[in-house]
Amino acid sequence: MLNIVLLGPPGAGKGTQAELIVKKYNIPQISTGDIFRANIKGGTELGKKAQSYMDKGELVPDELVVDLVRDRLNQDDCADGFMLDGFPRTVFQAEELDKMMKERNLSITKVLNIEVEASKLIDRIAGRRVCRSCGATYNINTKPTAKEGICDVCGGEVYQRADDNRDTVENRISVYNSQTAPLVEYYTKAGNLATINGDQPMDSVFSDIVKVLGE
């Protein structure tokens, strides 16, 4: 059973690798960012609360995130493993996740820390486009859709995320450095951190991940 955490700064390739991991290992991707964006789109109370933080590139308060993840992990499709993308993002969230795992007699198999030089992140994010319907991730420079603006997978509309503008991205990166980067030490101490070089072609990043997770 694989219980995975994807760690890494904005634009490192968490969502991109998650798509490949889901296909190969058949475990659900739990992206807290995607869940918040779906709530914003749906106009829910949670979406209204999260939006102002996300627009500024700040973290949504821990108390809005932790219960949401706990509920999600209780769903049936997580019974044989799961992959968290974008959670935990603070030491508090990591400690809460440890408690959730303990309650279930489970543990986190691996934390995949995807490393990419900061200077490359902004360009990657500026070029990113995402499918509104299925969430598939593209890049106008490195991974364009076959037809402009149309998702290759589902034919949905491909758009640019509201928080993918230069000012917000710079703040997201600095928030990552101050609030999330301490998790590298946290999971090194826990003994389950695997460092992945994210500054390679997507397929090479994925084969390094497969080496860590096993065939």
Kindly tell me which residue out of 11, 13, 15, 57 binds Mg ion, with binding defined by CB under 5 A: 15
* Catalytic-labelled residue, pool 37, 89, 110, 124: 89
128 binds, among Zn ion, ligand AP5, Mg ion, none (CB under 5 to 8 A by kind): ligand AP5
The nearest distance, CB 3 to ligand AP5, in angstroms, is 16
* Catalytic-labelled residue, pool 14, 37, 124, 129: 14
CA quadruple 131, 32, 53, 64: dihedral sign: positive
- The closest of 154, 143, 35, 131 to 85, measured between CA atoms, is 35
Sheet containing strand 193-197, strands side by side: 29-31, 81-85, 2-7, 110-115, 193-197
Nearer to ligand AP5, 50 or 105 (CB): 50
Dihedrals phi, psi of 191, to nearest 5 degrees: 90, 10
Interface residues with ligand AP5 (CB under 6 A) are: 8, 10-16, 32-33, 36, 53-54, 57-60, 65, 86-87, 89, 93, 124-125, 127-128, 137-139, 142-143, 172, 198, 201-202, 205
Angle at 71 between CA 66 and CA 73, to 5 degrees: 95
Active site residues: 14, 89, 128, 161, 172
Positions in the binding site for Mg ion (CB under 5 A) = 14-15
